[in-house]
Amino acid sequence: MISQVLINGEASDGRIPVTDSSVLRGDGCFEVLKAYDGRPFGLDAHLDRLEASASRLEIDLPDRGDISSWITRTAESLGDCAVRVVVTRGSSVPGEDELPQVIVFGHEWAGDPGPVRLFPVEAPWHAAGVEWDLAGAKILSYAPNLAATRRARKEGFEDALLVTTDSRVLEGPTFSIAWVIEDVMETPTLDLGILDSITRRVVLEAARGLDIEVSEGSWALDRLAEAVEVMALSTIREVQSVSQIGEESFPRGPITARLASVFEALTRQRPKPGN
Ligand SMILES: Cc1ncc(COP(=O)(O)O)c(C=O)c1O
């Protein structure tokens, strides 16, 4: 089920003009949040990242409070749901106004997806640490990421693990990756130009809170052969066990299980009175 679609806060039939630059060229940015019991999780962090992405693209957003209320209204209408926020640049046709459109709608998400198997795919389009204007922005142009997922599926896996052309581990097409070696949780550093995932942030903080040592760095793919457990992290997946990468298999280990349950508890936590 999908919620009422809001465009710039107005109830809409969900259509946007074909002249919009986001349709023509993927020119825009987006966020995906999850709401639990009708309350969006990590709302401020998602709004911060949306503002940062829009600013990198030089798109003027409506007021933050307005966008926040559109998200909250959508979340309340569905309860447990994913809320998508898509910001388009507006028309790119001469003579028409370049008016950004902020599209907000919610939909249900499928329950626990179970462990995932990943196939390593080279990502030559990934900045992989080279600084550029849109580094870290969550831009709409995800066609290369989705092509990597399709490539992995053709190989009989559920999704891809993106690696640089010299085999450094980056992230999944729509998720971050972390693994455990000798009780240390390792994850690719943000310096590699991977998305500053909000789930990754929350899970790393939870790990530190549980006295699990965390190491952020740059590792070659063959490092994963030493891992005893591997996890995929994202708003949609939460903390998902990775059961296979290429030829290597991994069990769902105790650290993944602990972090998954801490994360779940955080998502269901009620705000303290007065907040
Ligand atoms: C490339 C990429 N990495 C990581 C993530 C996970 O980010 P978050 O935890 O904020 O959902 C996403 C989410 O869409 C993504 O697209």
Q: To 5 degrees, how large is the angle CA 39–CA 41–CA 47?
A: 110
Tokens read off for 162: 């993106």
- Ligand 1 atom nearest the C-alpha of 201 is 9
Expressed in angstroms and rounded, the spacing between residue 96 Cα and the centre of ligand 1 is 33
Query: Rounded CA gap, 116 and 156, in Å?
Result: 12
Domain ranges (residues) in the chain? 5-107, 116-267
Q: Which amino acid is at 148?
A: A
Residue nearest to atom 4 of ligand 1 (CA): 175
pLDDT at 271: 65
Domain 116-267, second-level architecture: Alpha-Beta Barrel (3.20)
Expressed in angstroms and rounded, the spacing between residue 175 Cα and the centre of ligand 1 is 4
Expressed in angstroms and rounded, the spacing between residue 8 Cα and the centre of ligand 1 is 24
User: With a 6 A CB cut-off, is 53 part of the ligand 1 pocket?
Assistant: no
Q: What is the 3-state secondary structure (H, E, C) of the chain?
A: CECCEEECCEEECCCCCCCEHHHHHCCEEEEEEEEECCEECCHHHHHHHHHHHHHHCCCCCCCHHHHHHHHHHHHHHHCCEEEEEEEECCECCCCCCCCCEEEEEEECCCCCCCCEEEEEEECCCCCCCCCCCCCCCCECCCHHHHHHHHHHHHCCCCEEEEECCCCEEEECCCCEEEEEECCEEEEECHHHCCCCCHHHHHHHHHHHHCCCEEEEECCEHHHHHHCCEEEEEECCCEEEEEEEECCEECCCCHHHHHHHHHHHHHHHCCCCCCC
pLDDT at 274: 53
- Ligand 1 atom nearest the C-alpha of 235 is 11
pLDDT at 94: 84
Rg (CA), the chain: 19
Expressed in angstroms and rounded, the spacing between residue 167 Cα and the centre of ligand 1 is 20
Residue nearest to atom 13 of ligand 1 (CA): 174
Ligand 1 pocket test: pick from 34, 85, 175, 190 the residue with the most ligand atoms within 8 Å of its Cβ.
175
Residue nearest to atom 15 of ligand 1 (CA): 174
pLDDT at 202: 98
User: With a 6 A CB cut-off, is 195 part of the ligand 1 pocket?
Assistant: yes
Please give the chain's pLDDT, 275 residues, in tens: 899 999 999 999 989 999 999 999 999 999 999 999 999 999 999 999 999 999 999 999 999 999 999 999 999 999 999 999 999 999 988 888 788 999 999 999 877 778 999 999 999 999 888 889 998 899 999 999 999 999 999 999 999 999 999 999 999 999 999 999 999 999 999 999 999 999 999 999 999 999 999 999 999 999 999 999 999 999 999 999 999 999 999 988 999 999 999 999 999 886 665 54
Q: Which amino acid is at 29?
A: C
pLDDT at 95: 83
pLDDT at 127: 87
Q: Name, in order, each residue with C-beta under 8 angstroms of 77's C-beta and a sequence gap of 6 or more.
A: 3, 4, 38, 106
pTM: 0.95
* CATH for the 5-107 domain, from 3.40.50.2000, 3.40.50.12280, 3.90.550.10, 3.30.470.10: 3.30.470.10
pLDDT at 272: 60
Ligand 1 pocket test: pick from 109, 235, 266 the residue with the most ligand atoms within 8 Å of its Cβ.
235
* Mean pLDDT, rounded, of the chain: 94
CA dist 154 to 43, 147, 176, 253, Å?
36, 11, 22, 28
- Ligand 1 atom nearest the C-alpha of 173 is 1
User: With a 6 A CB cut-off, is 187 part of the ligand 1 pocket?
Assistant: no
* Cα dihedral 243, 248, 253, 258 sign: negative
Q: Name, in order, each residue with C-beta under 8 angstroms of 257's C-beta and a sequence gap of 6 or more.
A: none
User: Fold identical between 5-107 and 116-267?
Assistant: no
